[in-house]
Amino acid sequence: MQGEVKKGRIIFHIDMNSFYASVEMAYDPELKGKPVAIAGNAEERKGIIVTCSYEARKYGVKTTMQLWQARRLCPDLVVRKPNFDRYRQSSKAMFDVLREYTPLVEPVSIDEGYMDITEYTNGQNPIDIAKSLQSRLLEELMLPSSIGIAPNKFLAKMASNMKKPLGITVLRKRELNQLLWPLPVEEMHGVGEKTGEKLKGIGIHTIHDLVVAEDGKLKELLGINGERLKKRASGIDDRPVDPDSIYDFKSIGNSSTLPKDSSNPRELDKLISKLAESVSRRMNRKNVLASRLSVMIRYGNRQTFTRTAKLENPIAGASDIEEKAKRIFYKHWTGEPIRLLGITGMDLLEKEEAVKQLDLFSYQEDAKEEPLWNVLDQINGKFGKNTIKRGLTGRTDEDHTSGTSFNKDFLRDSKD
């Protein structure tokens, strides 16, 4: 059923409102009604706002704003450090509620997901189902949410963003010319700041401009993504709600902000080593190898650059990741003080499917191990595929440092 494209689908997009702040309020009811912000590294860097309550937003407090700026706007701001274990628990409870309405639930991050209730309405009005769901999340978990209802995932996502907090919005295809197309193109899901600037450069300022744009111009500007965006803007999106999509990942990464801007190579090398260990640990836990490696550099003036290199052989070891990352970093670093560094393994392959391409520098080392691999293959062939594995695959303690992978790692145990 999931593979079929159905007409008249009823798709929900659930978007939790100010999730981290709402979870803190649920654990500490005295915070309700107060301006609350979640900020990381408060002591080291005066903090960056991760998220904030709607009461704080009324004062102009925003995500990514520095904490000192937020406190200047809102002197009574209540600040809490992120508690990711707590957020994971609340997220799991939230998705458990969603699955009581339909098994077709697709988590896309810690605080949002899609539901396909087409075959699970039991004759009820979808709006009534949404009201019931929203009420249960609020009453049982004390977590507010906004829900978009539409015939496909893209429109449901756009609808859930139209009324916050505690909104329920229906977006039908016949209403696109009134509700969707007049919006600025940068407000469209899938259009980031850079893509928005590119589109404006060829005269596309609204979502309607995108709908009527020439296919050739879009393809020349954005490649295949241009065609995809135009279809979505036109209300065309046949993607199914896939409960297993959380296990499909193409990258694993981590980033870290320095206590203070630094141009000290020894300090930067130490951070690269730490990030490489974190990324390697996550890759080994998922039993994958990276075919490409990306290094993100953010300078003290907030300029950010990402540089990527294709690897001759897939890697997962910390030392290999560290070596390649340093090579990329020192090739592109200008020498200016750095605020943040990040490493991401990309184009991931499962270890069993990865084929190492031997070169003149590695074939002798690999050849030495070949007799051992042949013996292991014979044993596995006789007694079963994974009787003996090449290397150890064990559970590692969860890395509790906040990083770029958190939203993808959050539900690894969601079906336990």
Is 261 annotated in some ligand binding site? no
Query: What three-state secondary structure class fits 244?
Result: coil
Q: Where are the beta strands (DSSP E) in 27-163?
A: 36-40, 48-52, 78-80, 105-109, 112-116, 145-150
61/67 Cα distance (integer angstroms):
9
20/87 Cα distance (integer angstroms):
7
Asked if 112 is an active-site residue, the reply is yes
CB contact set of 142 (below 8 Å; sequence gap of 6+) = 22, 25, 26, 29
CA distances from 206 to 193, 201, 274 (A): 14, 12, 44
Is 116 annotated in some ligand binding site? no
DSSP string, 353-413: T------TTTHHHHHHHHHHHHHHHHHHHHH-TTSS-SS---------S--TTHHHHTTTT
54/35 Cα distance (integer angstroms):
7
306/295 Cα distance (integer angstroms):
6
219/228 Cα distance (integer angstroms):
10
323/344 Cα distance (integer angstroms):
13
Locus of tokens 């919006």: 183
- Please identify which of the residues 55, 106, 112, 322 carries the catalytic annotation: 112
Query: Are the CB atoms for 116 and 104 separated by under 8 Å?
Result: yes
Active site residues: 112
Q: Per the annotation, where are the binding residues?
A: 15, 111
Binding residues for Mg(2+): 15, 111
